């Protein structure tokens, strides 16, 4: 019965084979085996994934195997004198020697404010007006001094005439002369008081007009319209502060360990996030005498010219300081360094057609398309001239 079933399966499978099984009452297991025999075998894969690069890990370094290793030229690491560089961060600040407060020597109420914080003003521009009782007091003293001087002047003229006629003694004329001198001194002081307060003696007004003592930008505003202005016994910082921003300070924090590389008069290159690719020149004008006790940093002040007013107060800045002496540093061509996963590598020949991938630390990019190597390669070591070509060749094998 089994042989008969096999012959029917070969001739008509699975239709007649299944029907024959039911006719002969074969076991269920035999039925399953007959169906399995009719299935086709899976087709073999026509393509396979490319092989992985031939990289072997030996003693913490990667050995790369490539075909035709002679086609990759080698270059020898050399040395070059390089000045050490120190990069520090800071911010733009006004030059305090070019900041001038706008003071109202008359106490009173501000009735008009013509400029505000951030405005650009010119020297002699009207910035505010103050209504002050000091004006009335000063002008009253001026009028009294004018009257006193006029009286003493008339008295002196009369005594001079009487002295010429011998009607009065010389002492009386001298007393009149002293009175005239005192009255004229009082008048001069009264006129000066009006001038200090900003009052025109020929056109008096209850309001004191305050003018800008210099040109620049208003960097501080300590008073508003209808506010109080003037100098009190508690002192005043000024109603407004005008700063000349043609010169600014870049104040940076320098760590204690780096202070030995910083000195007065040292040149600094200033870069700002607001102007990528643009460099400003500055000079160190002060090194703080006191360190921050928690951060262990000193404030270093850099004087920077700002004729176009591109540097604005509060901007974040980075200062790069060059060392005074050049030191010999290891350098290789920039193409010899492979950047991979935020790390830098070079390839060194390892013999038998293999290359060793070595982790290095890089420094600054130097003229001549050279790259400074601070760790991983020593002067005289040979490295592959084009690391990217070797890496691509290893991945394609």
User: Domain extents for the chain?
Assistant: 2-36, 56-84+327-396, 133-205
**What fold characterizes domain 56-84+327-396?**
2.40.420
CB contact at 8 A, 95 and 244 = yes
Write down the pLDDT at residue 144. Answer: 93
CA atoms of 149 and 57, how far apart (whole Å): 106
Average pLDDT over every residue of 361-371:
83
The pLDDT of residue 307 is above 50: yes
The pLDDT of residue 12 is above 60: no
CB contact at 8 A, 332 and 113 = no
Please write the tens of the pLDDT for every residue from 63-116.
Answer: 877 777 778 888 888 888 777 778 899 999 999 989 998 888 788 888 888 998
Write down the pLDDT at residue 285. Answer: 93
> Across the chain, what does the average pLDDT equal?
80
CA atoms of 387 and 355, how far apart (whole Å): 11
Write down the pLDDT at residue 247. Answer: 93
CATH of the structural domain 133-205, one choice from 3.30.450, 1.10.287, 2.30.29, 2.40.30: 1.10.287
Q: Tokens 């404030």 correspond to what residue?
A: 299
Greatest mean pLDDT range, 108-112, 300-304, 345-349: 300-304
Write down the pLDDT at residue 284. Answer: 94
The pLDDT of residue 34 is above 80: no
The pLDDT of residue 30 is above 60: no
Please write the tens of the pLDDT for every residue from 183-222.
Answer: 999 999 999 988 888 788 888 787 888 889 889 999 888 8
- At CA 202, angle to CA 200 and CA 206, rounded to 5? 50
Of residues 19 and 275, more confidently modeled: 275
Average pLDDT over every residue of 335-347:
86
Greatest mean pLDDT range, 48-57, 98-107, 313-322: 313-322
State pTM to two decimals. Answer: 0.58
Tell me the H-state helices in the chain: 2-11, 15-24, 28-36, 133-164, 170-197, 387-396
Write down the pLDDT at residue 330. Answer: 87
Lookup: tokens for 301:
């002040």
The pLDDT of residue 40 is above 50: no
CA atoms of 76 and 368, how far apart (whole Å): 15
Q: Are strands 108-113 and 207-211 parallel, antiparallel or unpaired?
A: unpaired
Write down the pLDDT at residue 327. Answer: 75
Bridge partners (DSSP) of residue 282 are: 268, 304
From residue 180, give the alpha-carbon distance in Å to each of 146, 151, 218, 286, 392: 11, 8, 47, 56, 104
First to last CA, the chain: 59
Write down the pLDDT at residue 230. Answer: 67
CA atoms of 276 and 118, how far apart (whole Å): 25
Q: How confident is the model at residue 36 (pLDDT cuts 50, 70, 90)?
A: very low
Please write the tens of the pLDDT for every residue from 239-284.
Answer: 889 999 999 999 999 999 888 889 899 999 999 988 988 999 999 9
CA atoms of 250 and 395, how far apart (whole Å): 49
Write down the pLDDT at residue 51. Answer: 42
Write down the pLDDT at residue 61. Answer: 55
Write down the pLDDT at residue 17. Answer: 42
Is there a shared CATH topology between the 56-84+327-396 domain and the 133-205 domain?
no
CA atoms of 72 and 386, how far apart (whole Å): 7
């Amino acid at each position: 019965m089994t042989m008969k079933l096999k012959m029917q399966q070969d001739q008509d499978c699975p239709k007649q084979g299944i029907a024959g099984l039911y006719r002969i009452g074969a076991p269920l297991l035999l039925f399953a085996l007959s169906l399995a025999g009719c299935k086709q075998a899976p087709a073999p894969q026509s393509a396979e994934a490319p092989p992985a690069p031939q990289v072997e890990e030996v003693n913490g370094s990667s050995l790369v195997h490539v075909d035709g290793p002679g086609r990759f030229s080698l270059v020898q690491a050399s040395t070059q004198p390089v000045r050490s560089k120190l990069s520090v961060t800071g911010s733009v600040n006004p030059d305090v020697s070019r900041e001038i407060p706008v003071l109202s020597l008359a106490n009173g109420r501000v009735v008009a404010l013509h400029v505000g914080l951030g405005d650009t003003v010119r020297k002699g521009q009207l910035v505010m007006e103050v209504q002050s009782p000091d004006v009335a007091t000063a002008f009253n003293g001026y009028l009294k001094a004018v009257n006193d001087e006029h009286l003493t002047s008339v008295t002196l003229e009369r005594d001079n005439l009487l002295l010429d006629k011998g009607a009065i003694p010389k002492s009386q004329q001298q007393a009149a002369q002293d009175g005239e001198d005192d009255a004229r001194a009082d008048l001069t002081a009264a006129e000066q008081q009006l001038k200090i307060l900003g009052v025109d003696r020929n056109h008096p007004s209850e309001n004191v007009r305050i003018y800008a003592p210099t040109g620049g930008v208003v960097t501080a505003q300590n008073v508003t319209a209808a506010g109080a202005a003037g100098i009190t016994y508690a002192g005043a910082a000024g109603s407004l502060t005008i700063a000349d921003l043609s010169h600014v300070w870049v104040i940076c924090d320098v760590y204690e360990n780096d202070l030995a590389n910083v000195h007065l008069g040292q040149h600094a290159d200033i870069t700002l996030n607001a102007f990528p690719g643009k460099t400003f020149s500055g000079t160190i004008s002060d090194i703080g005498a006191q360190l921050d006790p928690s951060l262990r940093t000193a404030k270093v002040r850099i004087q920077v010219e700002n004729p176009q007013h591109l540097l604005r107060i509060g901007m974040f800045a980075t200062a790069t300081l060059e060392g005074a002496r050049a030191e010999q540093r290891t350098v290789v061509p920039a193409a010899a360094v492979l950047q991979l996963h935020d790390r830098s590598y070079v390839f060194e020949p390892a013999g038998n057609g293999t290359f060793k991938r070595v982790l290095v630390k890089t420094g600054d990019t130097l003229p001549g398309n050279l790259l400074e190597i601070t760790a991983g390669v020593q002067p005289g070591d040979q490295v592959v001239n084009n690391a990217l070509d070797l890496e691509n060749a290893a991945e394609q094998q």
